[in-house]
Amino acid sequence: MANNVDDSSDAQYTIKEGDCVVLKRGDVFKAAQIQKNRKVIFEKQWFFLDNAVGELYGTAFEVVSGGTLQPKKPKLTESITEVKEAGIDNRNIVDDGRSQKLTRDDIEALKGQGLKGQDIVQQLVENSSSFRDKTEFAQEKYIKKKKKKYENTVTILKPSTRILAQMYHGREPGKICHLRYDSLAQMLTLGNIHAGSKVIVFETCAGLVLGAVMERMGGQGSVIQMYPGGGPVRGATDSFGFPEHFLRTLHHFPLCHTHALLAGRLSLDAPEPDAPPLGRSLESGDTDPAPQGTEETEMERETEEREKRREDKAQERKMKNEEKRKRLSDAAALLQPRNADGLVIASRLHPCPVLLPLLQFMAPSRPFVVYSQYREPLIECYTKLREQGGAINLRLSETWLRHYQVLPNRTHPVLLMSGGGGYILSGTTVTANPPKPTPHRESRSPPQNPTPPDPRPTPHRVQRSPPPNGSN
């Protein structure tokens, strides 16, 4: 039994053909899929991922000649050179470009001889006239810089929310509304995303937030994706490589039908527009003379094949429409009870017209979270929620993150940092009390002969204290 458990755990962390992976070199990431004989271009270098099948995730590979990946063997010593000499400071070092004896042609010749990146870095260190005059810290920084440039090392990682968030934020932050991974983590926490819950997600972040919610739920529960436009966008969601039982928990519903569903006027039996007939001009043979002999037989055969293809396309289109209508019906059935456990919104659109209708699908005492790159749209949402009620514990916060370099005698904040991580509005739904009806007083006509008020003052009864004991 123990061996079976170990085998299943190893298979979970083993790279297989068809898996979605993330390639890493330094601080640069790229999503890819393991396919045989498929060329992958990463950081101006091409290679094949065939040899990665069967290795464990997190393995570092070295790109050898012919674009082949070879697992990099761990080495006990990481030092490039055994140089023990180091300068006191760098004040006398002049960066004039003449300290390096090797030229670009020499480096290309070394590459042509098949030298690995570590050997090239070693040659650069030995042929640098100013390397021994640098301080120990400057020497380490120089070696690290040259390693990053000349070593052909690629690490294959298993996709996760943090890795994909770093990848998108580093390469294409505009696609995910500049959503940083620490802001995404706060959204998952404030939204109380957990397994077995029913969560509504509306996002325009290429499917990154949707994939993060699905990963946190672990394939248990229901996720309803509300989407604008013609269809849902799930580019980043596909990069997670979720198994089939994860995808069965995912539903989608168009945002344009939200008001009709709330009003109970949603119709799923609307007829689909018929496509125009294909090949009408090819079939009209009234003006052409009738073919004879073999040509007539070939024309009839072509006509039959064309008719058959048209019927197949019509049947395929009908099946797609039925499948689309069924998915829409399933999503509507999940939304109609209005008992969703969470709501997550992250969009470049104005969140207020989206947030207010979607809150009606949530059960009371459930959390919701809204992300925006800017503060002003969330302030408007905050004001409207305070005015109309139905939400408590409203909180508008800004995320902030800064990396630190932690090294011996060199611990300090990293000079370059992200300017902002966006803003998050969070709260909890409650049952809004309906306004109490104002009592209507009957309007009575004044009497014709009203009684005049009595001018005499009304006598007040004075209450006297009882007499003391013994008195008459």
Residue with tokens 């650069």: 124
What is the reported pLDDT for 144?
82
Give the span between the Cα atoms of 338 and 318, in whole angstroms: 31
Whole-prediction pTM:
0.76
* pLDDT at 423 > cutoff 90: yes
What is the reported pLDDT for 3?
52
Residues 6+ apart with CB under 8 A from 224: 198, 199, 200, 201, 251, 252, 253, 331, 334, 335, 340
Helices and strands, counts by H and E, the chain: 14, 16
* pLDDT at 399 > cutoff 60: yes
> In Å, what is the CA distance from 290 to each residue of 41, 283, 294?
57, 12, 12
Residue 435: DSSP 8-state: P
Mean pLDDT of 403-424: 87
The CB-based long-range contact list for 363-367 (8 Å cut-off, 24+ gap) reads 363/338, 363/339, 363/429, 364/429, 364/430, 364/431, 365/428, 365/429, 365/430, 366/192, 366/340, 366/341, 366/342, 366/428, 366/429, 367/190, 367/191, 367/192, 367/342, 367/343, 367/426, 367/427, 367/428, 367/429
pLDDT category of residue 283 using cuts at 50, 70 and 90: very low
> What's the one-letter identity of residue 39?
K
* pLDDT at 251 > cutoff 80: yes
pLDDT category of residue 467 using cuts at 50, 70 and 90: low
pLDDT category of residue 13 using cuts at 50, 70 and 90: confident
% of the chain exceeding 90 in pLDDT: 44
Instruction: Give how far the C-alpha of residue 182 lies from the chain's centroid of Cα atoms, to the nearest Å.
Output: 12
Element (H, E) at 384: helix 376-388
Structure confidence by residue, pLDDT tens digits, 350-361:
999 999 999 999
Contact 165, 173 (CB under 8 A): no
Structure confidence by residue, pLDDT tens digits, 150-209:
778 899 999 999 999 999 999 899 999 999 999 999 999 999 999 999 999 999 999 999
What is the reported pLDDT for 470?
47
Greater pLDDT, 278 or 209: 209
Q: What is the mean pLDDT of the chain?
A: 81
**CB atoms inside a 10 Å sphere around CB 338:** 13
Greater pLDDT, 314 or 46: 46
**CB atoms inside a 10 Å sphere around CB 87:** 17
List the domains of the chain with CATH numbers: 13-158 (3.10.330.20)
What is the reported pLDDT for 363?
94
**Taken in order 56, 235, 332, 370, is the CA torsion positive or negative?**
positive
Residues 6+ apart with CB under 8 A from 180: 165, 169, 399, 401, 418, 421, 422
Mean pLDDT of 210-222: 95
Structure confidence by residue, pLDDT tens digits, 382-395:
999 999 989 999 99
Element (H, E) at 299: helix 294-335
Greater pLDDT, 122 or 386: 386
* pLDDT at 87 > cutoff 60: yes
What is the reported pLDDT for 451?
55
> In Å, what is the CA distance from 82 to each residue of 69, 90, 376?
29, 20, 58
Contact 199, 223 (CB under 8 A): yes
Give the span between the Cα atoms of 23 and 28, in whole angstroms: 8
* pLDDT at 316 > cutoff 70: yes
What is the reported pLDDT for 351?
94
